[in-house]
Amino acid sequence: MRNTNGVSNPSYVRDPTEGAEPGGGRRSRVKISQVIVTRPHYQLEDLNSAFNYFKPKTHFFQEALESMREVDTKSCLSGLFPIFKWLPEYSFPSDFIGDLISGLTVGVMHIPQGMGYALLANMPPITGIYTAFFPVFIYFLFGTSRHNSMGTLAVVSIMTGKVVYNHSGEGSHYSNLEVGTALCFLVGLIQLVMCLLRMGVASFLLSEALVSGFTTGAAVYVFTSQMKDILGVTLPPLGSRFEIVFTYYELGKKIPEANLMNVAIAVCAIIILLINNEIIKPRLAKLCIIPIPIQLILVVCGTLLSIQLNLKDDYGMKVVGTIPQGLPAPKLPNFDILPEILMESITVAIVGYTVSVSLGIIFAKKENYEIGFNQELLALGAGNLFGSFFSCYPFAASLSRAAIQYLAGGKTQITGLVSCSLLAVVLLYVASFFQPLPRCILASIIAVSVQGLLMQAKDLPKFWRQGFFDGVTWLLTFVSVVFISIDIGLLVGFALSISSIFVRALKPYMCQMGNVPNSDVYLDLTRYQGLVELRGIKIIHYAGGLHFASRATFKNTVCQFLGINLTEEIKRQKDPEFCRAEDAINFLILDFTALSYIDPSAISTFKQFAKELESIGIQTLLAGCSPVVFEKMKKCGFLGGEENYVRTYPTIHDAVHYGQKQLRLRAAGATPTIQEVRL
C-alpha cells in the first residue's frame, strides 16, 4: 500500500499462529492477535518530505493583539483579584464552617507568635500582631493560596532583626520601628518590581536541599537567640558575623548571673509545650481536629502569674512592657534609610516569597488547585507596602500555622479574614492585658516552635543519597548560616544550587548502546546484559544540552567510546603502509533523542569533528533529532549544505539499517558512491 507522497505506509501482518491449537485444531475462544508492524526505513529528510514537514510561524505582535481581543473585563478582574474567581464557587455554609473554625484557631496562635516573633525582629511586641492583621487583608484580595497562613515568620523575623540591629540603636538616627517599617516598604516595592519583571518562576532556582539547609540553620539561629531571655541575662553587641559562636561564648560567661525564677518559669513552659506536642496533641488529633491553644493558655497564665507575684519588681524579670491599645494611625515610613538597607531588603524579599510559594505549592497539590507565581509576588508586595504605613515589618507564610489551618478545616482565604477579625478585637480591647507577660514565656514558645525545623537535620542523609551536589548544598548552606550569618548562608546555598546546574550541564549523560536481539530496541550496555554490539557500528546515546561549554566533553567522550586518539589516528592513516582492520568502526550513530538544545558554537565544533571522523573512515549518522535541534542544525548550515558529513534518521534502527546495508555492499565488493554516502 502506498500513500499519495510515494512512501510506503506501514502494513499490518497478522501472526500466522493466531487462534491455532497445538494439535492443529481451532480454539473456540477468540485469541488476541499479535500484530507485526513493517515499514520502510526512513531517512529524516525523506520522512519530512513525505509528510509535508513545516515549521510553524509565530508572529508575536499578532498573537498579542489576538490575546488582547479575547480578554474581557471579567477575566481581567479575576486575574488581578483572584477572589472574583473562587468566591462565586464558594459553598455556604459547609466551606464557611471550616473557614470559621480554622480562622479562630489560627487567630489564637497569632497572638503569642506575633508578639514573640516581633521580639525576634527587634521590634515592639505589638507590631507582630499588626503584621498578622494589616497585610493579611491585602493578601485576602490578591493572594492565590487558599491554605497559607500569612503573618509573622521566624526566618523573616530573624532577618528583619539583623537589619534593625545593624541600622538602629546607639549611634544611629533611626529607631527600631523606623528601620522595620522602612524595610517592610522596600521589601514590598522589590516584590512588586519582581512581579512586573515576571520573576516569579526564578524562585525555583532555589533547590529543595538549599531551602531545607537554610531553614534548619535559621532554626538554630532562632533557638540560640532566645537563650538570653530564657536565662534572663543581657548580652553585649556581638556583631553580624559568627554571632551564634559568640552568643554561646557570652552565655557561658553569663550563666552565674542567670535569673533562677526566669529559668524556672521558662523550663516549666518548655516542658508543658513538649508534653502537649509529643503526647497530648497526637492523641487529641484522633478525636478532634481543633488543637488545644496551649500557647495562648501559657501566655494568659504567664500574664496572670506576673501580676499576682509582681515578677518584674520583686524578681527582676523582663516583661513585654508597654503595648498600645487600638489600631495605629497610618504613618509614612522613613524614606531616608532606604538606600542603606537596599541589599538586605532584596534578601528578605526573596526569602519571604520563596518560603510562601513553597508552602503554597504543597497545599495546592493536595487540594488540586493552582497558585499564580507572579500573582503571589503581587499579593506579598502589595501587602508589605500597605503594612509599612501601619507599623508592620515584612510578612510571609508560616509552616506551623498553615498546617494547623489546613488540619482545622480551612478551605479558602476567608480563613485569614476570620483570624483578622479576631485580632481586631484583641487590638481594640485586649492588647494592654499582655503588658506584664514575662518575655521568657514568649522565648520558650519560640524555642519549642522551631522543633520541627530543627528536626530537618535528619534530611541530610536523604540528600546525600539523592546526589553528591544535594548533600554538599545542604551541608554548606547549614554550616554557613550557623557559623557565619543568615545572609551569607543564603548566598552560599544559592551559589551552590546554580553551580550544580552548570556542573551537570558540563557533564551530560553519555553511554554506548547495544541491540536487544531480534528487535529494534537499543539499551545502555553498562546497565543491561545480553545485548549485542553490531559489527562495524558504534551507537552512542547523548542526553542533555550540547553547547559551547559541553562541546569539548562531547568530543572527548565520543573518541573514548571509539577507542581512538583522533589526532594520532589521522596521522596514522596518512601512512602509505596503513591497512584498515576488518573489525574497524565504519559508522558512528549518535542517538540524539534526548538532546534538548544545541547552540551554533557546538554545531561548528560538531561539523569539524564529523569531517575529521570521515577522514579516517567513520561516517556519522544522527538518530532521533527533535524538530528544534534539526531546524537549528539546518539553519547553521550543518545539514543540507554542499559539505555535509552526516545523515539523519528518525530512529536508531533506521540508521542501523543504513549502516548494515553499506557494510554488506562493501563486503560484496560494491563501493558506494559519494552520493550514496552523503546527503
Query: Residue 539's pLDDT is what?
Result: 95
The confidence band for 127, taking pLDDT boundaries of 50, 70 and 90, is very high
Residue ranges of domains in the chain, CATH in brackets: 94-502 (no CATH), 509-666 (3.30.750.24)
- Asked if 299 contacts 125 with a C-beta cutoff of 8 angstroms, the reply is no
Q: Which residues of 406-442 are buried (b: 16+ CB within 10 A; e: fewer)?
A: bebbbbbbbbbebbbebbeebbeeebebbbbbbbbbb
Give the three cell numbers for residue 96. Answer: 464557611
Could you read off the pLDDT of 649-659 as tens digits, one per residue?
999 999 999 99
pLDDT given for residue 326 in this prediction = 85
pLDDT surpassing 90 at residue 297: no
- What is the reported pLDDT for 496? 87
Strands 537-546 and 619-623: unpaired
Distances (CA, A) of 310 to 301, 435, 604: 14, 12, 82
Q: What is the pLDDT of residue 580?
A: 77
- Residue (of 129, 155, 168) closest to 225 by Cα position: 155
**Average of per-residue pLDDT across 138-144:** 90
Residue 544 forms beta bridges with which residues? Answer: 595
Is pLDDT above 70 for 3? no
Query: What is the CA angle 567-570-571, rounded to 5?
Result: 90
Supply the DSSP symbol for 277. Answer: I
Question: Which pLDDT score, from 0 to 100, does residue 548 have?
Answer: 85
Closest CA to 125 of 133, 117, 137: 117
Nearest to 547 by CA among 489, 508, 495, 492: 508
- For residues 188 and 380, the answer to whether their CB atoms sit within 8 Å is yes
- Whole-number Å distance between alpha carbons of 211 and 478: 10
CA distances from 604 to 213, 322, 507, 539, 600 (A): 42, 72, 19, 22, 6
Mean pLDDT over 572-582 rounds to 79
**What confidence score (pLDDT) does residue 368 get?**
83
Q: Which helix (H) or strand (E) holds 514?
A: strand 509-515
Of residues 4 and 512, the one with the higher pLDDT is 512
Kindly report the number of other CB atoms within 10 A of residue 7's CB atom.
Answer: 15
Cα 563 to Cα 26, 559, 615: the distances in Å are: 56, 6, 16
Confidence of residue 679 (pLDDT cuts 50, 70, 90): very low
What per-residue confidence (pLDDT) applies to 8? 43
Backbone angles phi, psi at 268, to 5 degrees: -60, -45
**Residue 4 pLDDT exceeds 70:** no
- Whether a cis peptide bond, with omega within 30° of 0, leads into 461 is no
Average per-residue pLDDT for the chain: 81
29 pLDDT tier (thresholds 50, 70, 90): very low
In this structure, of 10-24, 169-183, 448-462, 550-564, the range with the lowest mean pLDDT score is 10-24
Return d(Cα 195, Cα 187) in angstroms, integer.
12
Q: What's the pLDDT at 21? A: 44
For residue 77, the model assigns a pLDDT of 56
pLDDT tens per residue across span 37-72: 577 777 877 777 777 777 776 554 555 455 444 444
pLDDT at 537 over 60: yes
Reading the block at residue 564, the C-alpha cell is 581512538
pLDDT of residue 192: 94
Query: In Å, how far are 305, 334, 440 from 447, measured between CA atoms?
Result: 21, 32, 10
For 586-600, letters b (16+ CB in 10 Å) and e give bbbbbbbeebeebbe
Q: Which of 609, 513, 620 is nearest to 561 (CA)?
A: 513
pLDDT computed for residue 289 by the predictor: 63
pTM recorded for the entire structure: 0.71
pLDDT value at 399 more than 80: no
pLDDT at 381 over 50: yes
> Does residue 476 surpass a pLDDT of 80?
yes
The pLDDT tens digits of the residues spanning 203-239 come to 667 777 887 888 788 888 878 888 888 888 887 777 6
pLDDT in the model for residue 35: 52
All three cell numbers of 541: 546515546
Note the pLDDT of residue 569.
85
**For residue 370, what pLDDT is reported?**
83
**pLDDT (mean) for 438-450:** 84
**pLDDT classification of 317: cutoffs 50, 70, 90:** confident
